[in-house]
Each structure stands twice: as C-alpha cells, then as structure tokens.
Amino acid sequence: MTQTDMPHRRRNLLTGEWLLVSPHRAKRPWQGEAAALAALRPPTHEPSCHLCPGNTRAGGEVNPDYAGTFVFANDFPALLGEDGPAQPIQDPFETMPASGEARVICFAPDHGATLARLESSELERVIATWCDLSAELGKRWAHVQLFENKGAMMGASSPHPHGQVWASDFIPELVERENRRQREWFEAKGTVLLSDVAAAELAASERVIEVNAHWLAVVPHWAAWPFETLLVARGDVRRIEDLSVEARAALAEILAQVLRRYDELFDNDMPYSMGWHGAPHGLGDDTAHWRLHAHILPPLLRSATVRKHMVGFELLAETQRDLTPESAAERLRSVVITR
C-alpha cells in the first residue's frame, strides 16, 4: 500500500475532534441499502404543497402570491419566544431553559426549483434574505443559525425549495466549539484559523473545488462526509450580514457552481444539509478570531442510491471515512457542469 492508502487520523481544526480515514476500504463490495432514485423534477406548482404561493399551510395560514423569497414564522417551531418553566435540579442531571424563534425561508415560488437551478439574480435575493434575517434576529438573540435540509433523504418535510433560520438565546454546542477553537488559535498565533486554513488549502490545491476573489470552496482536510464542502470567505468577514455587494454576487456564483457539481456527480438532485457559521451575535464585537463559513454535508457515497451511514464505530467511537478528501475533491473538480 502507498501512504495515501494507509489508515490514518486527521484532526478537525474547527472542533478539535479526530476522525479515522481508511482509504483501502473504498474497494470493498457493497450489498447494503440502496435508496430509491429521486423522482423527476416536480411541477412548478403543487396544489398540496404547504409552501407554494396561494396555498394553505398546515397551521391554517394562506401563503401570499409571492414572487421572490417568502419568509414566515415556522408553524411548528423548535424554539419558543419565552422560556419554559424552570426545571428542578435533580442531581446528577442538568437542565436549563431555552428560548428563541424559528422561521421558514421559501427560496422561490417555483415548486420544482433548487438553489442550484436558480438564476443568479434569484440566488442573490436568497443571499440578501439570509443577510437581512441574520442582522434582524441577531439584535435579539445570542445565535442565528441559517440552514437548508434538501431532499427526503435529509428529512426535508417538503420538496419545495426552502430553508430555515433558528435564533436562540444560547450559543449551540457545535458553534461554541468552533468559537473556542478559533479563539485559542487567534490568541496563540495572532492569526485567524480559517484564514490560515484557506491559505494552506490554496497552496496545496488538491482539495480545492472552486475559488474566486471572495470565496474558497474545498473538501476540507478533515471532512467527515464523503463529498463534504467547506465554503470560506476570503476577506475579513465575520457575519453573513457583513458581506459587501461584490461578495454577495461572488457567493451566488460559487455556491451555484458547487451545487451544480453535486447534481452532476451522480446525475441527480444531490441531497444535503447546508448551514452558515458566523460569529455568534452574543459575542458582541469580540469577533476578531472569527471567519464566516458554510458547511455543505451531502450523504451520498458511491452513487445516487448509496449513502454513507454514521453507524457502529462512528456512533460509538470516532468519525470514520473511506474515500479520502483528496479523492472526493478530484471527483468534484472533474465534473463537467451542463445544467
């Protein structure tokens, strides 16, 4: 075996966690689950869809006949605007109240659209909506989490193109871990962790998928999911609402390219979870260690029907992957975009 075929561990610099890479296992035969292929492109309007313009939602509200993005309060929010009742402390267990608010973001009125299929102007409108929501909710809440779950495989409740925003009075565990690691790096080295990572990735080039003046898209050195992508702002941008007009346009360009590569990879609408991490608003102005970035996490492994499962060793010991990040990046780079 060559060195690249040998098992080894890599550290996620953003979280401090280790993962096991086992490249030789990519050759093993597969007789596990093969999911059904996704249906053909949905119609532009679906009468039974709760998110299409003019339709009635599950909560009884009627959607307006919207033409661009449409944002509304989630009818079934995970967080409520007021704290729940105080919980008695029962040693050794710990609880704490949690409050916040959740909204749904319809990206477009077209039921059959996806972010990858939107025109540049439509995608820029989605980005502007993300920026506006982060700025608005960040005035009241400690953290604003923008995300999209795309596809039934990722648990999306509707195929209509949409995402969500959850704002909370606490900084969630994963974001706090990233905050701590970035702060430690900044205090020890005097540089921004993701700025150093971006420079190293550009120098190595083997994991780079797309790059422009404002953004870098890579399969990160520590990627856990087979075709995971890290999208990093190249300038000193700490929150999404801080993006310049030029950076927003450049984001629309690179995000469309990455998502179209995903769709062409296995000739299907690639499912994924995507979310933005910026400096939590609860930090105030103490954000010099932060760099805005997004994680895109698709579950597919070998084809449109074979996915990666986080089970066994991954659940009980440590994250593990077979396909190396370098191989994944090469496969994404080699995709010829036709859509």
Active site residues: 162
> Which amino acid is located at 109 in the chain?
P
CB half-sphere exposure, 189, CA atoms < 13 A: 13
> Which amino acid is located at 79 in the chain?
L
Strand 18-21 to 100-106 pairing: unpaired
Q: Return the structure tokens found at 144.
A: 């604003």
Give the largest CA-CA distance in the chain. 61
Strand 319-321 to 18-21 pairing: parallel
Please answer whether residues 79 and 102 qualify as being in contact, where contact means their C-beta atoms are separated by less than 8 angstroms: yes
Beta bridge partners of 9: 20
Closest residue by Cα to residue 168 from 105, 239, 98: 98
Instruction: Label residue 137 exposed, middle or buried (CB < 10 Å: 0-12, 13-18, 19+).
Output: buried
Identify the DSSP state of 36. Answer: P
Alpha-carbon gap, residue 116 to 167, rounded angstroms: 26
